[in-house]
Homo-oligomer: A and B are copies of this chain.
C-alpha cells in the first residue's frame, strides 16, 4: 500500500470526500491539516499553489475530484465498468458545481445579504437538483446513485448533503425520501460512522 498524505486546511470543504473514501476503504493515511495563517508559507510547495493535494509516496496530485477519483479507483469504489465510472464522475462533478455555486454566499461579509444569497442558492440550485436526483434514484432502484453498489458518488452526495442538512436543516429534503435514505445509508456504514464521530469538528 502506498503512503498517502492528504494536505488541506483544517476543514471538511474540498478534502472531505477523499477522507470519506479512504476511511470507507479502510486505508491508512496521514491527514495533514493546517490553519489559514500557515497557508502563505505552504502555497509554493503545492503543485498549482492550491489544496487539497494528495501525496502518494512523495508524488503530488492536485484537484479535489481528481484525488477522490484516483483513490476510488485504487480502492474499489469507482464503479464496476467504464460506464458506471463515468456516471460516478458525473455525480461527483455535480457536487463540485454545487460547492462552487455556494461560494459567493459563503464569501459575503454582510450578514443579511449572506442570508439572502444562501436562500437563493437553496431555492435556485439545490431544490431543482434534489428533485432531479430523487428521480434518478427512483429510476436506478438500488438505493445507490450508480449501479447496485456503493461508489464514491454516494459518498460525495452524503458528504455535501449532510453538510447542507447541518447548516440549513433537512426541510429541503422533504420531497426526497430516496436521497434522504441514501444519506442515512452512508452515515450508517461502520467505517464512515467511526470517522464522522472522530474527525475534527469544523464549521465547513
Contact = CB atoms under 8 A, between A and B. Distances in A.
Given A59-B83, A83-B59, A132 B66 contact: no
A80 to B, nearest CB: 15
Given A69-B89, A89-B63, A89-B70, A49 B82 contact: no
Interface in A79-102: 82-83, 86-87, 89-90, 93-94, 100
A61 B87 contact: yes
A65 B93 contact: yes
Nearest to A93: B63
A90 B73 CA distance: 15
A64 to B, nearest CB: 8
Contact of A86 (B61, B86, B87, B129): B61
Copies of this protein chain in the complex: 2
Given A100-B100, A132-B49, A89 B74 contact: no
B90 A82 contact: no
Nearest to A82: B73
20 contacts: A47-B90, A48-B94, A48-B129, A48-B132, A49-B128, A61-B87, A61-B90, A62-B94, A63-B89, A63-B93, A63-B94, A65-B89, A65-B93, A66-B86, A66-B89, A66-B93, A67-B86, A69-B89, A73-B82, A74-B82
